[in-house]
Amino acid sequence: MSTLKVDTILKRTGTGTITLGQSGDTISVPTGASLSLQGGSNGQALTTNGSGTLSFATVGGDAGTEAFSVKLTGNDNNITDASWYKITFNNEVFDTGSNFNTSNGRYTVPSAGKYFFGTAVYVWGGNNFNNCATRLYKNGSSQGDTGNYFTYSDGNHFSEWYQEASQILDLAQNDYIEVYQRVDFASGTAQVDAVSRFFGFKLA
């Protein structure tokens, strides 16, 4: 075995490709030695394009870095009968990316990807409810399959409603998500209790 001791390896003429080894060879960097590659930025990793080209890239994107949880400062008694009523969550528990707007109860997606959203809503009033449902809205439109409807078919009424709804959504940048609640009350009023929550995070 011979040892080649040099400070710099350059292509013989001009620029181009320098090949190390051949098929079946192993090129190793021993323990204690370090391999210094230029380019990339802090936290990035070497990735392959599948065709033999390596480059630095952010692995995993910002998955798991975007998260929020919001609630109400007090009970909301402005809910209107038989309407899909937007709950304006106005109190942040945390909002890592500052993407939740407490003035309009809206979470705006900072980057495209798959997001998990959940909500837990507690509504109460007199013994006067005959329909209740909770839904997530995307860009002002109901994501119907997140809704949950509860109805007494025998005409009786109920006075409290606690519902959780959740969904994973594939979203584009600047899409926005809101929570809407519906209560049909035969008389009196209804309130969205302050314990209600809305939360979410980026999956991928």
Partner 1 sequence: MAQLSTKIKMYCTANGVASVDFQKDVMLQDDGQGAYIKEWNLGIAKPTDEQLASYDADADKQEQNNQVVATRVSLYGTPAEQLEILVEQGLDKLIERNDKIKADNPKA
Distance (Å, rounded) from C-alpha 104 to C-alpha 89? 8
CB of residue 113 to partner 1, shortest distance in Å: 26
| Contact residue for partner 1 among 47, 55, 77, 80 (CB under 8 A) | 80
CA distance 31 to 24: 22
Q: Which of 62, 92, 95, 184 binds partner 1 (CB under 8 A)?
A: 184
Residue type (1 letter), 167: Q
User: Shortest approach of partner 1 to residue 156 CB, angstroms?
Assistant: 11
- Beta carbon nearer to partner 1, 92 or 184: 184
- Dihedrals φ, ψ of 3, to 5°? -115, 130
Size of the site for partner 1 (CB under 8 A): 21
Please select the residue that binds partner 1; options are 48, 55, 174, 187, rule is CB under 8 A.
187
Tokens of 25: 């060879």
CA 106 to CA 100: how far, in whole Å? 6
Q: Name the token pair of 108.
A: 């705006």
Instruction: Pick the closer one to partner 1 by CB: 157 or 203.
Output: 157
Does position 128 interact with partner 1 (CB under 8 A)? The reply is yes
Q: Are the C-beta atoms of residues 94 and 180 closer than 8 Å to each other? A: no
Q: Is the Cβ of residue 108 or residue 128 nearer to partner 1 in the bound state?
A: 128
Q: Which positions from 85 to 104 touch partner 1 by CB under 8 A, shown as an x/- string?
A: xx-x---------------x
Binding window for partner 1 (CB under 8 A); candidates: 38-46, 61-69, 74-82, 162-170: 74-82
* Least CB distance to partner 1 at residue 86 (A): 5
Spell out a b/e string for 82-95, using b for 16 or more CB atoms within 10 Å of the CB, else e: eeebbbbbbeeeeb
Residue type, 191: Q
CA distance 175 to 139: 6
Residue appearing with tokens 């399959």:
145
| Interface residues toward partner 1, by CB under 8 A | 78-86, 88, 104-105, 126-128, 131, 180, 184, 186-188
